[in-house]
Amino acid sequence: MRLEVHPTTPQPRIIKKTVDVLKRGGTIVYPTDTVYAVGCDIFEKKALNRVYQIKQMDKNHPVAFVCADLSDIAKYAIVDDRIYRFMKRLLPGPYTFILPATREVPRILMMKRKTVGIRVPDHPVPQAIVKELGNPIVSTSATWEGEQLNDPDDLAAHYKQCEVVLDAGWGPLEPSTVLDLTGESVEIVRVGAGPVDDL
């Protein structure tokens, strides 16, 4: 089901319909401040398995998830004062942070080092979804054969297995910048849309 959603003032009925699908264990394609993403409720194991299947990803491939805001992150990751202040400067924004996971995170989402990738996109649509849902959603780039898709027509055509494709118009093509905050200093894992000059 393709649903047109306003990119800056998402319609509450569209958000509610999307969240109803997520609560039933469905998968969605949605816009972010960087690229379109494929996602599901992080607590729906079958849905997460379907995301891996749809994306044809290896089970060891890490996926990030979207939190509503900085205070929400503390439920799912261990964040000290120094890290909190650092992230506060950059969020919401085009960054994915690798952090030590708490016990709240489903095991299937943890990487080998018991870490998680967490995003707080600067985009009203994913923010509205996670607020309405009450917990994070999975975020993995909507790619096809290695190419990032940003045209809603292509997304709808290639992701027919997803119960909802949210069309917010053409999206950007640059993914988030990935920063590993598990060590003493910030490690830049991937340079993307988020600037790294002042880090």
- Mean per-residue pLDDT for 75-87? 94
Question: 157: domain range?
Answer: 2-190
- Return d(Cα 175, Cα 96) in angstroms, integer: 9
Q: Are 152 and 31 a contacting pair, CB within 8 Å?
A: no
Whole-number pLDDT of residue 49 = 94
Q: Count structural domains, the chain.
A: 1
Report residue 6 as tokens: 């306003």
Q: Is residue 199 part of a domain?
A: no
Residue 168 confidence (pLDDT) above 90: yes
On whether residue 198 sits in a domain, the answer given is: no
Whether residue 176 lies inside any domain: the answer is yes
Task: Determine the pLDDT at residue 60.
Answer: 81
pLDDT for the residue numbered 176: 97
Residue 196: inside a domain: no
DSSP per-residue string spanning 148-169: EP--HHHHHHHTTTSSEEEE-S
The CATH number of the domain holding residue 184 is 3.90.870.10
Q: Is the pTM of this model over 0.85?
A: yes
Asked whether the predicted pLDDT for residue 187 surpasses 80, the reply is: yes
Q: Which pLDDT value is given to residue 96? A: 97
Q: Report how far residue 97's alpha carbon sits from residue 34's, in angstroms, rounded to the nearest whole number.
A: 14
197 located within any domain? no
> Which residue in 128, 121, 129 sits closest to 19, CA to CA?
129
